[in-house]
Amino acid sequence: IATMSSLSIAANFILDQLTGCLARPLIAGIQGPQGSGKTFLASHLVQRLAASDSNLRMVVLSIDDLYLPHSGLQAVARSHPENPLLRGRGQPGTHDVQLGLDLLTALHEGRTKVRLPSFDKSLFDGEGDRLPMDDRRVVVVEPPAVDVIVLEGWFIGFQPISPELLDEKWERVWKREEARLGIPEGFCTKSNIAELNQNLVEYQALWDRLDIFIQASLSPIEPEDDEDSPYSIIYQWRLEQEHAMKALNGNRGMADEAVRQ
């Protein structure tokens, strides 16, 4: 989990990479499961690098802020009625990848001001919606070009796997964890997972723009009981994130069961 020590490691790594980077900005990917501290890491890196001797400018773009607008998410759900994993935000296939590519290009060129999209997860009972670009919460990046661009998210860098490996993981991992996590049998099918796997192909253009990669990895999680799933802690972290957001915005957001699904 991201801590102050991991912040120092990440900051020093970026500074080392910048030393040999002739064409700035440097684009860094930060990946980690929900609750691993990647957002903490990214936000504190901005402060750490700004306070360095080089006084570096850094901007953070979250994959979450590339979600389709609420109307777009609804359209995805309608066009995939058989796939429960696409009934809402979160999974590959619910983002505007081209928007992300355009933003990286504009930030890299640094010739004009760039407005970063912002997705408010509390709207529409937690389904969320993209804020208007003139909203006061939208971050505006002014020229010249920044020194570092960070793209952070839970599946940054994920690659599609082969049908054979998908079959193996479905039989060996998914069915076991489905029972451990108490997911209703038949909640999703292997073809539903295969669709998300195929959706990852589109994201490779984003990953190809990354110069370096940082993973906010977790220590191996040992369940207290053989019947427990090591993934249950990630659900608990995700639930805590939702509760924290709702505590700040007047209880607007997803119900606990919606988070679980």
Q: What are the tens digits of pLDDT across the range 87-144?
A: 999 999 999 999 999 999 999 999 999 999 999 998 998 899 999 999 999 999 999 9
242-260 burial, b if ≥16 CB within 10 A, otherwise e?
Answer: beebbeeeeeebbeeeebe
Question: Which strand (E) or helix (H) includes residue 60?
Answer: strand 58-62
Q: Exposure of 62 by Cβ count < 10 A (0-12 exposed, 13-18 middle, 19+ buried)?
A: buried
Q: Exposure of 92 by Cβ count < 10 A (0-12 exposed, 13-18 middle, 19+ buried)?
A: buried
Q: What are phi and psi of 81, to 5 degrees?
A: -65, -20
Stretch 66-88: mean pLDDT, rounded? 97
Summarised one tens digit per residue, pLDDT across range 180-231 is: 878 888 889 999 999 999 999 999 999 999 999 999 876 655 555 555 565 6
Task: Give the long-range contacts of residues 53-60, CB within 8 A, separation 24 or more.
Answer: 54/15, 54/18, 54/147, 56/18, 56/147, 56/148, 57/146, 57/147, 57/148, 58/146, 58/147, 58/148, 58/149, 58/150, 59/107, 59/116, 59/139, 59/141, 59/146, 59/148, 59/149, 59/150, 60/150, 60/152
Q: State the fold for domain 4-254.
A: Rossmann fold (3.40.50)
Q: What are phi and psi of 158, to 5 degrees?
A: -65, 140
Percent with pLDDT over 90 in the chain = 63
More confident call, 185 vs 49 = 49
Q: Where are the domains of the chain?
A: 4-254
pLDDT for 85 equals 95
Question: Residue 215 contacts by C-beta under 8 Å, 6 or more apart in sequence?
Answer: 30, 31, 32
| Alpha carbon distance 126, 139 (integer Å) | 22
Nearest to 158 by CA among 192, 191, 198: 198
Q: Is 29 helix (H, G, I), strand (E, B) or coil?
A: strand
Q: Is 193 helix (H, G, I), strand (E, B) or coil?
A: helix
pLDDT for 33 equals 82
| Alpha carbon distance 215, 12 (integer Å) | 14
Helices H / strands E in the chain, number of each: 9, 8
pLDDT for 1 equals 45
Summarised one tens digit per residue, pLDDT across range 222-260 is: 555 555 565 665 656 556 665 665 666 667 665 666 555
| Alpha carbon distance 204, 10 (integer Å) | 23
